[in-house]
Amino acid sequence: MRDVAIIGVSQTKFGELWDTSFRDMITEAGLKAIGDAGIEGADLEAMFVGNMSAGLFVEQEHIASLIADQAGLNPIPCTRVEAACASGGLALRSGIMAVASGYHDVVISAGVEKMTDVVDPTPVISTAADQEWEVQQGASFPSLYAMMARRHMHEYGTTREQLAMFSVINHKNGFLNPLAQFPMKITVDQVLNSSMVADPLRLLDCSPITDGAAAVILCPAEDARKYTDTPIYVKASAQASGTIGLHERRDITTIDATVHAARMAYKMAGLKPQDIDVAEVHDCFSINGLLAIEDLGFVEKGKAGPAVEDGITERDGKIPINPSGGLKSRGHPLGATGIAQTAEIVWQLRGEAGKRQINGLEIGMTHNIGGTGGTAAVHIFSN
């Protein structure tokens, strides 16, 4: 296997983008990443694009063909990758494997979702859960995560305020991110008084409905300095699966797919949780941010609530989490999220994250999950 490097990244503005179509967003992200890498479109040998549900959100399937055509990339192979909200993370992993194996040299991995054109996105998002056993019985994504939150509160004494703190810290970071959907500061009181979505989760515990795209350019590590002075190296790419339904889990306060993917990633990189300097984790709901820092090994099981309250996940804390603002503040265009997380870690490791820059970073991680944890992708990067 060859070592792989990232030589270019991009993200579009995230938000409710009325004047930008699906095809415009992904083309913008692709062109910006190509520009960032200082290459030509003609240098690309393959494209992988993460997308959860263009068929239901914008009534367009066969998006790999659409995108290659629109971007002027024909005839290179372009492949759609789908694993619900982890589609972006898996598109990245597909690109990494294509370069590592020697099959291709310069590859683009991207992600895109346009979610705001449907009247009710909740049933579309719910297709990532078990239709027969969960959704048809009345469950939705907020209600499934609400059950995980309730159980975590019951088992470990996690408080409503501690859940809220996760959102507050995300928004404090997202306030500094010009590409974020909701770049505003919020308080614990505002979270606790925002409208109820699925008890105990309120509006400000939830990631929003988002349009957006992001892209990264990969090449063999040995070639990276031909293109850039600041290559970012892929130290590990891991993926694991878990049960799609919550009712099949041994414990609904642990996402086993994350635990397995993290274990593989640490082994591959020869690193431990305490070696990670910064991480972008999948906080589609505040509870999932807490579960992530436990399942990735940053804090002991059940201790995420007090740890967040103590500020260890702040930008100047022991393990800075979601300097971008996370899914909560940056936004969560499902198929684009895993790639946007990667773009943020690359900017942080290059020292290009503007006002939200954390100094002295060497090792960064991304954690992207699909559904309520049926799929998890964990990547580790270094500068």
The helix or strand, by DSSP H or E, that contains position 368, with its residue range, turns out to be: strand 363-370
- DSSP calls for 96-126: HHHHHTTS-SSEEEEEEEE-TTSS--HHHHH
Euclidean distance between CA atoms 234 and 352, whole angstroms? 18
Instruction: List the x/- string, 1-40, binding to ligand COA by CB under 6 A.
Output: ----------------------------------------
d(CA 181, CA 184): 9
The interface region with ligand COA, picked from 18-26, 196-204, 234-242, 312-320 by CB under 6 A, is: 196-204
Of 32, 332, 367, 379, the residue at the interface with ligand COA (CB under 6 A) is 332
Window contacting ligand COA (CB under 6 A); options: 54-62, 154-162, 205-213, 312-320: 205-213
User: What is the closest distance, in whole angstroms, from the C-beta atom of residue 267 to ligand COA in the complex?
Assistant: 27
Among 30, 111, 208, 326, binds ligand COA (CB under 6 A): 208
Does residue 203 interact with ligand COA by CB under 6 A? Answer: yes
Stretch that binds ligand COA, among 202-210, 267-275, 340-348, 350-358 (CB under 6 A): 202-210
For residues 125 and 365, which CB has a smaller minimum distance to ligand COA in the complex? 125
Query: Among residues 22, 141, 166, 298, which is the contact residue for ligand COA, using CB under 6 A?
Result: 141
What does the radius of gyration of the chain's CA atoms come to, in whole angstroms?
19
Among 83, 125, 216, 343, binds ligand COA (CB under 6 A): 125
- Residue whose CB is less far from ligand COA, 134 or 277: 134
Closest contact distance (angstroms) between CB of 21 and ligand COA is: 20
Upper half-sphere CA count for residue 155 (Cβ side, 13 Å): 16
Q: Which one of the listed residues 104, 282, 332, 367 is annotated catalytic?
A: 332
Please state at what angle helix 22-37 crosses helix 63-70, rounded to 10 degrees.
60
Query: What token pair was written down for 54?
Result: 């263009």
> Is residue 332 flagged as an active site residue?
yes
302 exposure class (CB count in 10 Å sphere: 0-12, 13-18, 19+): middle
CA angle 155, 156, 162 (to 5 degrees): 130
Q: Which of 37, 92, 191, 204 binds ligand COA (CB under 6 A)?
A: 204
C-alpha angle 333/339/340, rounded to 5°?
65
Burial of 223 (0-12, 13-18, 19+ CB in 10 A): middle
Catalytic residue among 85, 206, 219, 284: 85
Q: Using CB under 6 A as the criterion, what x/- string covers residues 61-90 for binding ligand COA?
A: ------------------------x-----
Choices 4-12, 92-100, 204-212, 350-358; region in contact with ligand COA by CB under 6 A: 204-212
Q: Compute the least distance from the CB of residue 117 to ligand COA, in Å.
A: 13
| 104 tagged catalytic | no
Q: Tell me which residues in 209-228 interact with ligand COA (CB under 6 A).
A: 209
**Nearest distance, CB of residue 197 and ligand COA, angstroms:** 5
Cβ 10 vs Cβ 29: under 8 Å = yes
Q: Measure the CA–CA gap between 41 and 16, rounded to whole angstroms.
A: 28
Q: Are 361 and 113 in contact (CB under 8 A)?
A: no
Q: Are 322 and 170 in contact (CB under 8 A)?
A: yes
In 60-166, DSSP assigns E strands to: 78-81, 107-114
Q: Which of residues 260-289 bind ligand COA (CB under 6 A)?
A: 284
Q: Which residues bind ligand COA (CB under 6 A)?
A: 85, 122, 125, 141-142, 182, 197, 203-204, 206-209, 284, 332
The catalytic residue positions are 85, 332
